[in-house]
Structure 1
Amino acid sequence: MNDYLYVGKIANTHGLKGELKIKSDTDFKEERYKTGSKLYLSSGDEMIELEVATHRVHKNYDLVKFKGLDNINDVEQYKGCTVHVHESQLDELDDGDYYYNDLIGSAVYGNDYIGIVKDVLNHGASDLLVIKRESKKEVMIPFVEEFVETVDLEKKEIKINEIEGLID
């Protein structure tokens, strides 16, 4: 599973013709859901490869139909599955842009060690780093220039500008 990156989660079926309603968590929807793209569904340890047949947006959800799955009976079993893309399908990003997966597990430092990035949430105006701290409550830090000074993917370290009130 380490070779796959999370794209979203299947919330439900949509209609009778095999569409799935996906709550997406990707900045690359056009690429992920274009006709012919390969996506992988997971319901535990097994990854099922499927090819996108159609995609459209409806009420903040991505409605995706996969090739060969033409009715609700074919897709009912996939409700609740997570949707992934294989890392070999990823494009190079511009400097200063990162895939969430690259940030997760990084050590975060301010004035001192703070904790480990547990998750990255898309929160409208900016992404939020969810930091797991030892024997303390988790903290969320906006992933913006004002707070994040440096990101070193090789060392898996993030240095933040720890302003008063940000952490505690």
Structure 2
Amino acid sequence: MEDLLKVGVITTTHGVRGEVKVYPTTDEPERFLELDYVLLDTGRELRKLEIKNVKFFKNLVILKFKGVDNINDIEKYKGRDLWIPREEGQELEEDEYYIADLLGMSVVLEDGQEFGTLKDVMETGANDVYIIDSAEHGEVLLPAIRECILDVDLEKNVMTIHLMKGLI
């Protein structure tokens, strides 16, 4: 399991005083109101940035960091990821998982037959869609619904699925 969870990506600057627009990669952008800091992936290291102010604009979060008061201090980090330690993550409900924990998971059919590997998760709004890389079927899109996802075993790193008619 990952020690860090991605909470957003810096898309661009906002104004000239060092604020940034962030595309949230969390289900609840309001979560930024509860965070004291984030870890910025600078490309070479993780830099801890204390959050001074949080605002919301459309589907973006506007963040102001302590000690970052100039557009030139932050502009070079456009496109960079923001992370938090796992222990700062939200409590999950039953049958909820962090995407980071699912990626790379082995996928098997309900009869135990190997099917593929979970390569990515597409967030569509209604329900997530799991992108499974299958040697036999290529890329398979599977809706993350109870009828299709029978079991997720994080300890064994295995997901058991049911393929509905018409999926492959």
Structure-2-length-normalised TM-score: 0.88
How many equivalent residue pairs?
166
2:70 corresponds to 1:74: no
CA RMSD of aligned residues (A): 2.0
Mapped to 1, the partners of 2:34 and 2:87 lie a distance apart of: 18
Query: Deviations along 1:11-46, whole A, 9 cap, x unmatched?
Result: 111111211111111124223x12652211113341
Residue ranges of structure 2 left out of the alignment (5+ in a row):
none
Aligned CA distance change for structure 1 residues 59 and 91 (closer, same or farther; 3 Å): closer
Mapped to 2, the partners of 1:143 and 1:65 lie a distance apart of: 35
* Residue of structure 2 equivalent to 1:18: 18
- Give 1:1-168 correspondences, 5 Å limit: 2-31=2-31, 33-34=32-33, 37-110=36-109, 112-134=113-135, 136-166=137-167, 168=168
Structure-1-length-normalised TM-score: 0.88
Cα shift at 1:3: 2.1
Aligned CA distance change for structure 1 residues 91 and 11 (closer, same or farther; 3 Å): closer
Residue ranges of structure 1 left out of the alignment (5+ in a row):
none
Mapped to 1, the partners of 2:20 and 2:139 lie a distance apart of: 33
Q: What amino acid does structure 2 have at the position aligned with 1:6? A: K
Cα shift at 1:153: 0.9
Tell which deviates more after alignment, 132-141 or 69-78: 132-141
Question: Is the contact made by 1:42 and 1:48 (CA closer than 8 Å) also made in structure 2?
Answer: yes
Mapped to 2, the partners of 1:135 and 1:8 lie a distance apart of: 34
Give the share of equivalent positions with the same residue, in percent: 38
